[in-house]
Chain A
């Protein structure tokens, strides 16, 4: 009988027990949220970080050839979580006759091999899969899907400065 059901000592459906079940559920939910939201933020936060990179000193401007790319080297400090390392990076910097600078990412746009400048044939050549790029970075032949990527480059106090980010525009 329905009446029996509401008074059976084994039943969950007496008014008092329904209220306490509900109240426990609500309190549990509040505790769950109070713990769960910070913990979730904690777990996700590194994925949402954007680390600003500093400009790197790549040597004196006088080192740069004009009309031909020069390979420059510079130190980059890297923070991997709590580990700090200093690594040497390189880039190809081309100074035009008008003094304008272009810096190329030294990794071939096909699969990332380091390419080099062929001074005889006046072109960039990647030995991994025979890719050829022109002096302006355009793909002449081979598998690369796009021209050479560029870094931001600047001159400050007669020093070549490199920032490993794509230039705007």
Chain B
């Protein structure tokens, strides 16, 4: 039945070449579980997006109500602890997997020609994931969230020359408060998802277009050819 739906779309839009490029693409010999970390990161990102959308239905981003709204999710909403828990632990897993993916790519030298740009976009994606973690951490507005953000923004403030200005820009003032919470929330649900989507799109496009690089050979032969 999926076949028929795909056929219907293909008759009108000619999507089969695209689907073939994605799902029937050639991969080199010797790839294994190490190569799954990128897809795992993407799946976690998708799960964070979905759980995040639903958390946003009950969360209130003001100092007056942030903490209470999270308690409401935990105590009053059906499956609230599950949805919040997925988002909480998913965040940590996402950082772990994005680092594992980066390590795998680095160790296997898959960043080399012609994949330099893919690596650079990957660096941007890593920073975006860390920014997601930092902005999301403040939102429960409990003691841990508040003081962790004081410390983190103070670190930014210790940078030479631009530090103090940077601190005031990030906090939205000299102190942490309602303005900070509002702009961290706007970043977390609006700006960062938008940027993440754009850069993931570029990253995945290039990976598919160029193909997976072959695992490095341990022997000193002339080197393995990429599957293309």
Contact = CB atoms under 8 A, between A and B. Distances in A.
Select the residue from A38, A42, A81 with max chain B CB neighbours within 10 A. Answer: A42
Residues of A contacting B: mostly:
helix
Interface in A96-154: none
A45 B57 CA distance: 12
B180 to A, nearest CB: 21
A26 to B, nearest CB: 12
Nearest to B3: A12
Contact of B77 (A10, A25, A46, A83): A46
B154 interface: no
B60 A82 contact: yes
B80 A42 contact: yes
A41 B69 contact: no
Interface of A: 10, 12, 25, 35, 38-39, 41-46, 81-83
Select the residue from B23, B51, B77 with max chain A CB neighbours within 10 A. Answer: B77
B83 A45 contact: no
20 contacts: A10-B20, A10-B24, A12-B23, A12-B24, A38-B79, A39-B50, A41-B78, A42-B77, A42-B79, A42-B82, A43-B57, A45-B79, A81-B69, A81-B76, A82-B60, A82-B65, A82-B68, A82-B72, A83-B65, A83-B68
Q: Place the interface of chain B in its size category.
A: 20 to 34
Nearest to A83: B65
Shortest 9 CB-CB contacts between residues of A and residues of B: A45-B78, A82-B68, A38-B79, A82-B72, A41-B78, A42-B79, A82-B69, A38-B82, A41-B79
A82 B58 CA distance: 9
A39 B20 contact: no
Interface string B34-56: 00000000000001001100100
A46 B51 CA distance: 17
Contacts of B60: 82
Select the residue from B2, B57, B78, B83 with max chain A CB neighbours within 10 A. Answer: B78
Nearest to B84: A42
Nearest to B68: A82
A132 to B, nearest CB: 44
A78 to B, nearest CB: 14
Contacts of A82: 60, 65, 68-69, 71-72
A41 B78 CA distance: 6
Select the residue from A25, A38, A45, A82 with max chain B CB neighbours within 10 A. Answer: A82
Given A35-B47, A39-B54, 19 more contacts: A10-B24, A35-B50, A35-B86, A38-B79, A38-B83, A39-B51, A39-B79, A42-B79, A42-B82, A42-B83, A43-B54, A43-B57, A46-B76, A46-B77, A81-B58, A81-B69, A81-B76, A82-B72, A83-B65
Nearest to B55: A42
Contacts of B80: 42
A149 B78 CA distance: 34
A35 B86 CA distance: 9
A43 B54 CA distance: 7
B9 to A, nearest CB: 15
Contacts of A43: 54, 57
Contacts of A25: 2
B77 A45 contact: yes
A39 B57 CA distance: 11
